Structure 1
């Protein structure tokens, strides 16, 4: 199949990802223009990077390719990202390492394993609730609940306040009206202001207390920095799992033989999870800003240039993956970039994999069938790749 040059394709048009097909465009760019210049529109000018090796090289050079000025494209009228230089995601070494050390203990192997029984109990409750509903939205009612439960527990959100926070995050990060999303996000931040002050008075063994009482370069974080990092942890701790699990479930619904194969052979679960992560590639793009002149492939990039890394393209790069457009439960090796690489490799990578394993395992154990009852609705976004909704009917075993 011949794919034409994407001269008239707008990579920052959300409709391309909601109703179009960006993969042929990415394939053409990988073959013909792997480091491609895009002129300014409502977004600033940027370079697109689409090959796996180039994207990994950018990730691994935090000195030349900085995160501190933002990691997502923003419309020019929105100004600088307020988290720039202040949050885990938007800092460079050495500050990034210092911030990461404040919260890293909650994401170690020991900490994750200690949560596994609680995760299973939570999933069983989620599945039971979904069965009672008859038909439900898999994205909101199943995939979104476990990661929010886990991050709330780690942040010290009391159990009786978690449902309220779930409702707010569903509205804030959903696809509703911008004003309603903004109001919900303000209410989330107001909640964390209150929780922050509680932890100042009564420290506990949780992430918010660690941010409140931890020091970077011998100084406590400012209140605004604490809140920005709370927001960062909440989004980072929920979105990737929610979107990957929902996208994975849609893939299994389209390939029921793979779901039944996984039911019969749970030894395939580790490779299946990695393939779901590669296949769904939930972060559509990640941005870096060049700090000094550098040559990337045959292009000269200047200080201040923005570089956009297209994760779905890297994870379908035929130079790195055999038959990349085939979903393969047994794929080995599978060194995808769905969880990033380098200094900013996902802090919660082990937590993400564990949540996915438990969620899929419990669904296989406790259900006889999962049937799609209506069309899946994709998100209209250039930031995250996945589904807004997936209506299903879950029949218990």
Structure 2
């Protein structure tokens, strides 16, 4: 039985090294038990409230009248100014704008649409695994986990296949643990790419997501070109980043718990609950932020208009009040009502897509009896935004 910290640990949720070299669960566990509504003092980031319990996060997610997404959904330094996507992208809008934007692309991510794409997605997974097998040793993050969701969303967005590798390079730089200036430049290059692509699709639309945005309108008004570009970037990031880290983090969890991988190989029907447990276990979005639109009291603490309130999803998904034996990785866990993909109005648009991608990738490895072994120490991301493997050297061998 785990012993709880006797004293309050030092609380600093915004130290990137906590997630790459430390144990944030020590802090989250103490906060859940002692200060579930915690005021985190300013650092280089502004001060904010931290919610760490499952029910509190779920309730706040559902209350979009109180907690706004339009001011940004991630902590950012004050001197960076407002998030440029605020009030303009799917992730950073409130009703009614959020619903209107979502309605333009919703059908592409519906269960039926994803199922129709499944054969093509399976081909993508097979091609990616074949290439990794041919190399023998590779980085599971960059060479496998990143490519499957990227190639799929590129296909859906109408990105020419000849450009997929270019976007893989850019997204690897943008999301990786490199120089901040290089990451920013990569983000700008991605925006520049979509500036050109949306112009092409506006002039000659085809059956894809970028064409939908480039020719779409809300209340009879076409979308502004900058709004289209920002939403394209939002779809690319949303369709790749968290799935990439979940796929790699899930593989790492299965390597750390080989008996679970063995159970999967013996009973493929467990893949569906396994994917849900991987999403709960990895909880790749470390925090999500909202801004209070009206005063509210939570656990006796007064939140004022304009206060930042953060949801710490890995903490909520390990809350012992909801999940039995929460720190145990169990691919048969039921029920498993995790919050890894959000909740309420902002429930992840691509949730079904992400689950199918994970299932198909692991199925490809299992069905072909491909052995995956660590070939070095995984490196975790230095980030307070997403958590999980940044690099994960492995060897792949076919049976």
Contact map agreement 1:4 1:28 (CA 8 A) in 2: no
Contact map agreement 2:149 2:240 (CA 8 A) in 1: yes
Count of aligned residue pairs for this structure pair: 397
| Matched ranges for 1:47-62 at <5 A | 47-62=49-64
| Matched ranges for 1:1-397 at <5 A | 1-6=3-8, 8-397=10-399
Please give the secondary structure, in 1, of the residue aligned with 2:107: helix
Scaled by the length of structure 1, the TM-score of the pair is 0.98
State the Cα distance separating 1:76 from its structure 2 match: 1.4
Scaled by the length of structure 2, the TM-score of the pair is 0.98
User: Any gaps of 5 or more consecutive residues in structure 2?
Assistant: none
State the Cα distance separating 1:330 from its structure 2 match: 0.7
Q: Greater CA deviation, 234-243 or 6-15?
A: 6-15
CA distance in 1, matches of 2:115, 2:357: 11
Please give the secondary structure, in 2, of the residue aligned with 1:141: helix
Contact map agreement 2:9 2:26 (CA 8 A) in 1: no
Contact map agreement 2:9 2:27 (CA 8 A) in 1: no
State the Cα distance separating 1:184 from its structure 2 match: 2.0
User: Any gaps of 5 or more consecutive residues in structure 1?
Assistant: none
Please give the secondary structure, in 1, of the residue aligned with 2:370: strand
CA distance in 2, matches of 1:336, 1:2: 23
CA distance in 2, matches of 1:247, 1:375: 13
Q: 1:229 to 1:259 in 2, by over 3 A?
A: same
State the Cα distance separating 1:183 from its structure 2 match: 2.3
Please give the secondary structure, in 1, of the residue aligned with 2:309: strand
- CA RMSD in angstroms comes to 1.0
Q: Greater CA deviation, 210-219 or 327-336?
A: 210-219
Q: Deviations over 1:35-64 (max 9, x none)?
A: 001122211110000000000000000010
Q: 1:208 to 1:297 in 2, by over 3 A?
A: same
Contact map agreement 1:289 1:306 (CA 8 A) in 2: yes
